[in-house]
Structure 1
Amino acid sequence: MPSDFTDYHCHLLPALDDGAVDLRESLDMARTLSSFGFGTVHCTPHLIRGGYENDPARVVRAVQLMQRRLDDEGIPLRLVPGNEHYLDQYLPEMLHGALRSGDSRYLLVEVPFHAGPELLRPMVQTFAEHGLAPLIAHPERCTAFDPARAVGGVRGALSMVLGRDAEPQLEDSEIVELKRLGCRFQGNLGSFAGYYGYEVRERALLFLRHGLYSCVGSDGHSSEKLWEMLVAGFAAIESILGAGEALDLLRGARLANGS
C-alpha cells in the first residue's frame, strides 16, 4: 500500500474517550494504520458536553505528547488534532476556536444516530456564520440519511434490504441537499466492510456509488481486528470505484478540492 493515505476520523489518543484505553493500545493502532498506508491521522476524540469534555487545548496537548512517542518509536505517522463534535444544542457555542480538519474549513460532526433531518439544515447556516462547514461523520450509520425514509419508513427499509425494489434514487434526498448546501461526508472503512451490519453497508455502498463521500476514516477505537477491517473496507471501495479513484478517496483528494 502507499503511505500517503489520510485517516480523517480516529480515536487513537489514549484514555480520552471510548477509544484506545492506554498508550500500548494507541501504539498498536498506530503501527497498524501506518502499515496499511496511512501517513496522516486526524485524532478526533469525542467532544460532548456533559460526556467527553475534550476541549481543543486538551486534544492539542495529547497529540503533541503522542507525536513525540510515535517519533521515538519510529512510527511514521503525522498526527493532526481534531474532535468528533456531537450535534446537539451545545455545539453552536463551541464553534469559536473549534479544531478543524487540518487547515480546512471543515469540522467533523457526529449526527445522533436516530436524529431527524430537522436538526441538520439549521446547523449548516450556523456553521457558515462562523466561516465553517460540517464534515459529517459516517452518514451511512445515521437514520436521518436513510433513503428508505422517503419510500415508506420500515416498509421501505425492508424492501431495500430484501432487494424487492430498485436502488433508491437520491436526487431529492436529505444527504444530497446537504451536500449542495456545503456539507461534506466522511465514510467509515468499517461500514464498507460490513462491520456495522448489512443495512449500514448497503447505505455506504449506495452513497459511494453516488459520489457522496469526500474522505474516509478508520473510526478506529481499538487495535482488535483493525487490520482486517481496513483491508476489507478498502477492497469494497476498490470494487466500486476502481483502484485509482479508491486511492484518491483514501488520500483525501476530494476533500482537498472541495468535492
Structure 2
Amino acid sequence: MIQALRRLWPGASPEAPAREAVAGAWDFHCHLLPAVDDGLRSLEETQRAIAGLRALGYRGAVLTPHIYPGVYNNTPDRLREAFRQLQQAVDDNFTLRLAAEYFADETLLADINREDVLYLELGSQKIVLVEFPTLMPTPAGMDVLLQLRRAGYQPVLAHVERYRYMQLEQALWLPRLERSGAWLQCDIGSLVGQYGPHPQAFARALLDQELPTLWGTDLHRVAQLERYVAPGLTVLAKSGHRINGILEELAA
C-alpha cells in the first residue's frame, strides 16, 4: 500500500494512522465524476484519484457532482448517464455510488415538490447532500432542510465548517441544525487547514463534540490526497474516529 502511494506521489509516506482510520471505509462527498462541474476534468484524472483513494484504504466513494442552476446546469438524468459511462471505465475493485451536491435555493424546493431529487439510497433512507452559501445565509437554506425531511429524505449539510456565519455564531446555528434533523458533513482537509484557519478551528471543534455524521474528501484534484486528505485522516485517527461507519450498508 505504501509503495502504491509513493508511485502516485514521489516522496510521500502517509502515516499508518491515516490508513487505519479509513481502512475499508467509504468516502462521502467527492467530485470524481469527470467533466461535469469544477471537479476532476478527465477520465484519466478520475482513475488516478481512485487509485489514490484505494491506496489510502478507501473501498468506495459516493460521488456528489454539483447541481447548481446557473453555475452547473446538471440534471439527475444527465448525471446518471455520465455515471453509467464512468462505471464502465473503472476498476470493479473500487465501488462507486451516485448522489449530488445541491445548492440550497428555490429550484431545489421545486425539485422536492416534483419528486425529482438525486439521492443516495442507504437502507430505507434517501440521503441528499445540500450546500449553503459560504459567506451569508440564504432564506431558502433552512426551508430546504425542513422540506427534505418532510418529503422523506435525510438531508446532509455539506462542509458545515466552511460557512463563515456558522463559525461566528455557533451557539445559534448548531441547535438550529440539530432541530432540522440534518446530518453534518465536514471536509477532512479542513482539519489541517485546507480552507484556512477559521474552518480548521471550527472543524476541530465539531470533531471534539463528535457532531459530524459524515466526513468527505470533497476531492476536486488528485493533489489534495497527499497534501490534505492523508494528514487529515491522521488527525481523525488520533481522535479515535472510525469514519463513515454509517455507510457500511453500501457494501451489501
TM-score using structure 2 length? 0.82
> What is the alpha-carbon root mean square deviation over aligned residues?
2.2
Could you tell me which of 112, 119, 122 is aligned with 1:100?
A: 119
Helix, strand or coil at the partner of 1:90: helix
Could you tell me which of 36, 52, 61 is aligned with 1:41?
A: 61
The number of residues matched between the two structures is: 226
Q: Is 2:248 the partner of 1:251?
A: no
The one-letter code of the counterpart of 1:251 is G
Identity of aligned residues (%): 26
Partner residue, 2:97: 80
Helix, strand or coil at the partner of 2:203: helix
8 Å CA contact 1:20, 1:222 repeated in 2: yes
Q: Name the CA shift for 1:144/1:106 in 2 (closer, same or farther; >3 Å).
A: farther
Could you tell me which of 91, 94, 110 is aligned with 2:131?
A: 110
CA-to-aligned-CA distance 1:43-84 (integer Å, 9 cap, x gap): 11110112212211121222222122113xxx6211111111
5+ residue gaps, structure 2: 1-18
Partner residue, 1:55: 75
More divergent stretch after superposition (101-110 vs 195-204):
101-110
Counterpart CA distance in 1 for 2:52 and 2:184 is 24
Counterpart CA distance in 1 for 2:25 and 2:186 is 14
TM-score using structure 1 length? 0.80
Counterpart CA distance in 2 for 1:54 and 1:251 is 29
Partner residue, 2:234: 235
The one-letter code of the counterpart of 1:232 is P
Q: Name the CA shift for 1:255/1:115 in 2 (closer, same or farther; >3 Å).
A: farther
5+ residue gaps, structure 1: 150-169
Counterpart CA distance in 2 for 1:117 and 1:51 is 17
Counterpart CA distance in 1 for 2:89 and 2:249 is 29
Partner residue, 2:3: none
Task: Choose between structure 1 and 2 for higher RCO, CA contacts under 8 A separated by at least 6 residues.
Answer: 2
Helix, strand or coil at the partner of 1:230: helix
- Runs of 4+ in structure 1 displaced over 4 angstroms? 253-256
Q: Name the CA shift for 1:213/1:115 in 2 (closer, same or farther; >3 Å).
A: same
Counterpart CA distance in 1 for 2:210 and 2:192 is 18
